[in-house]
A and B are shown apart, each in its own frame.
Chain A
């Protein structure tokens, strides 16, 4: 087991898959010569050369569409978006083309593409650069979405995504890029659609994904120490497919649920999770389900306010106490 950063874990996943399969190509803005806008792809050009690691112009609809077309012929492109916020200029390619082609062709064509990049707020860059489109994208059948929170999951999910024969959109987080964690030396994948109980507890289930998992784990510690409450934290890891069983098993144990995510509340991922719990575990609940999401407004620039707009430890603790009251 080596202790490496989330960024290094992603890079290691790509490096190993580049070595394993010569159809894997890394493509995106500044991924090669510049070594990556966030240095996730650092060193890959040197190691694999310009055929495998390809700089693109600022042309998301063009190069993502190109990757989709190439994937139909068996190439396995791993496309970097500098931010997932920029996916919106390529929405037609990402949704209509990648997401529908298998269906509309009656299963004749598949599209093994990975699109990856950071999708998070909290970086003081304003509304245009702070989108978290996992719910928007996961609402389209044909598309898969994963949101790793730790280096272990980042590597395992990225490798699974690259080997997957469907379009998989990996939402990373710039704030997590330097987080460190243990990652096995040997080859492994984290299958899509398997949640992870990141902390065991008995009194309350917190369901979270992405960086909200880290926030929730910190809140769980405070709840334990200061309030004597035992909190279980379920990390979804994958939004679509969704591990419904792990969520339900935890709720059946604790009988209370708090859902935490960085999305805005309207039609967020947790709207679906709340529906799931009430439809399949209604009788298990001892209290209404609560949610902590970002405050419902475009992302504010002011750093002090942005920290309050997003789910933070204090808000999660306060809301948890309401569910437990």
Chain B
């Protein structure tokens, strides 16, 4: 049990957090000071939003499952910070970080968690089902691995429409054993689709460490070779490294319309969900070690302090603002109304919500 599960890849062991060797990579070196600060701000906002969520959950206001992203922020932040107009994303149920990264507001995100009509999905999706298609964010999916074919389809559509774009389809390390993921890999490579499968390897699928779940040739990404696909591994605590290596995959998608599997080593600080007391499958020491050595938000803060992009004062301001924003979102969620009973039967069918002479449906479609 003491085996450090995250550090499955030898590269990861060798490199504790420190100055990023990817700071000088063109995608990072070309960032303006303001862009760097904005990226740090987004990471801090994800962190504070979720830490606020814990309190609201403990107050009993968030039902069901709440899967926190704390510890994994640099993955969503690094990858999504590179995306343009025709780049899309889709992920599993650990989806808050991605939502905030694409520009969803804390209010709509928080209100969704508490099941309010002002939530991003009007209280119909919950924590696992965030959506913002206007920001190219296609969810938020609750079935492990089920989103991989959808992401492949989004990439197919981008290609069909003749656009230079991509889809980043995120999943956990446990998802790689789902048949749907393998089927998606095959189709993506067979049809040269601009999809990037991002495996967020946080070492565990629920209480099952990666060693106990997955047979692999040294790392999970290498399975791509079986499908004649490019792959890479990334240290996920280092947002610069995430950006540098994702940029290569993105270029491959944009220029050659080819897929990639990226495995990003990362770690979650809390239980699988809030329902997981986190006592049976890993040591507290292991969490502590990662937090101390590789916290992605602190690592980037250090990086920017040493670059003199950030000052301690500015960092404090950014973090305080993020906390205040999360507090306000909590109040917004509290004060928002629930959906109504009549709302239960809305948004099931487009044709039903838009019935008119031109719609193709008649008859009874919602039954008593």
Q: Which residues of A contact B (CB under 8 A)?
A: 25, 51, 56-57, 59, 61-75, 92-93, 96-97, 101-110, 112, 141-142, 144, 160-161, 163-166, 189, 191-195, 238, 240-245, 272, 279
Q: List 20 A-B contacts (CB under 8 A).
A: A57-B187, A62-B152, A65-B152, A66-B156, A69-B151, A72-B157, A75-B160, A106-B120, A109-B131, A109-B139, A141-B366, A164-B361, A165-B350, A166-B349, A166-B351, A189-B360, A192-B351, A193-B361, A194-B362, A243-B364
Which one of B153, B346, B348 contacts A66 once the chains associate, using CB atoms below 8 Å?
A: B153
Cα A193 to Cα B349 in complex, Å, equals 13
What's the nearest-Cβ distance from chain A to residue B302, in Å?
Answer: 38
Interface contacts beyond A63-B187, A65-B180, A69-B157: sample of 15 additional A-B pairs, CB < 8 Å, sorted by A: A57-B186, A62-B186, A62-B187, A65-B149, A65-B150, A65-B184, A66-B153, A69-B155, A74-B161, A106-B119, A109-B131, A141-B348, A166-B349, A193-B362, A241-B361
What's the nearest-Cβ distance from chain A to residue B176, in Å?
Answer: 15
Contacts A93-B180, A108-B121 given; indicate if A70 touches B157 (C-beta within 8 A).
yes
Cβ–Cβ contact B133 & A108, under 8 A: yes
Which one of A70, A92, A104 contacts B124 once the chains associate, using CB atoms below 8 Å?
A: A104
Contacts A62-B152, A62-B187, A66-B153 given; indicate if A25 touches B160 (C-beta within 8 A).
yes
Contacts A104-B139, A141-B348 given; indicate if A193 touches B364 (C-beta within 8 A).
yes
Which one of A59, A70, A101, A192 contacts B154 once the chains associate, using CB atoms below 8 Å?
A: A70
Cβ–Cβ contact A106 & B121, under 8 A: yes
Q: Which residues of B contact A (CB under 8 A)?
A: 88, 90, 119-125, 129, 131-134, 138-143, 146-158, 160-161, 167, 179-180, 183-184, 186-187, 190, 346-351, 353-354, 360-368
What's the nearest-Cβ distance from chain A to residue B236, in Å?
Answer: 25
Cβ–Cβ contact B365 & A72, under 8 A: no
Contacts A69-B154, A108-B131 given; indicate if A57 touches B190 (C-beta within 8 A).
yes
Cβ–Cβ contact A69 & B179, under 8 A: no
Cα A270 to Cα B122 in complex, Å, equals 35
Q: What residue of chain A has the Cβ atom nearest to residue B138's Cβ?
A: A72
Chain B residues, Cβ within 8 Å of A242: 363-365, 367
Chain B residues, Cβ within 8 Å of A112: 350
Cα A142 to Cα B124 in complex, Å, equals 14
What's the nearest-Cβ distance from chain B to residue A234, in Å?
Answer: 13
Q: What residue of chain A has the Cβ atom nearest to residue B180's Cβ?
A: A61
Which one of A68, A102, A193, A241 contacts B149 once the chains associate, using CB atoms below 8 Å?
A: A68
Q: What residue of chain B has the Cβ atom nearest to residue A272's Cβ?
A: B367
Which one of A66, A102, A194, A240 contacts B365 once the chains associate, using CB atoms below 8 Å?
A: A240
Cβ–Cβ contact A104 & B131, under 8 A: yes
Which one of B132, B167, B350 contacts A166 once the chains associate, using CB atoms below 8 Å?
A: B350
What's the nearest-Cβ distance from chain B to residue A6, in Å?
Answer: 21
Cα A103 to Cα B119 in complex, Å, equals 13
Instruction: Say whether chain B's binding surface is mostly helix, strand, loop, or mixed.
Output: mixed
What's the nearest-Cβ distance from chain A to residue B56, in Å?
Answer: 20
What's the nearest-Cβ distance from chain A to residue B94, in Å?
Answer: 16
Cα A38 to Cα B119 in complex, Å, equals 47
Cβ–Cβ contact B361 & A192, under 8 A: yes
Cα A66 to Cα B184 in complex, Å, equals 8
Cα A195 to Cα B362 in complex, Å, equals 10
Chain A residues, Cβ within 8 Å of B133: 72, 105, 108-109
Cα A63 to Cα B348 in complex, Å, equals 24
Chain B residues, Cβ within 8 Å of A272: 367
Chain A residues, Cβ within 8 Å of B183: 59, 61-63, 65
What's the nearest-Cβ distance from chain A to residue B334, in Å?
Answer: 20
Cα A208 to Cα B154 in complex, Å, equals 39
What's the nearest-Cβ distance from chain B to residue A194, in Å?
Answer: 5
Cα A97 to Cα B90 in complex, Å, equals 13
What's the nearest-Cβ distance from chain A to residue B169, in Å?
Answer: 9
What's the nearest-Cβ distance from chain A to residue B104, in Å?
Answer: 12
Which one of A63, A105, A141, A193 contacts B363 once the chains associate, using CB atoms below 8 Å?
A: A193
Cβ–Cβ contact B149 & A106, under 8 A: no
Cβ–Cβ contact B158 & A73, under 8 A: yes
Cβ–Cβ contact A67 & B153, under 8 A: yes
Cβ–Cβ contact A101 & B350, under 8 A: no
Cα A193 to Cα B183 in complex, Å, equals 35
Cα A97 to Cα B151 in complex, Å, equals 12
Cβ–Cβ contact B363 & A241, under 8 A: yes
Which one of B90, B179, B360 contacts A160 once the chains associate, using CB atoms below 8 Å?
A: B360
Chain B residues, Cβ within 8 Å of A64: 149
Chain A residues, Cβ within 8 Å of B158: 73
Cα A181 to Cα B306 in complex, Å, equals 79
What's the nearest-Cβ distance from chain A to residue B349, in Å?
Answer: 5
Chain B residues, Cβ within 8 Å of A107: 122, 346-347, 350, 353
What's the nearest-Cβ distance from chain A to residue B61, in Å?
Answer: 19
Cβ–Cβ contact B156 & A70, under 8 A: yes
Which one of B120, B152, B157, B361 contacts A191 once the chains associate, using CB atoms below 8 Å?
A: B361
Cα A70 to Cα B160 in complex, Å, equals 9
Chain A residues, Cβ within 8 Å of B353: 107
Cα A244 to Cα B367 in complex, Å, equals 10
Chain B residues, Cβ within 8 Å of A56: 187
Which one of B132, B146, B179, B364 contacts A241 once the chains associate, using CB atoms below 8 Å?
A: B364
Cβ–Cβ contact B365 & A92, under 8 A: no
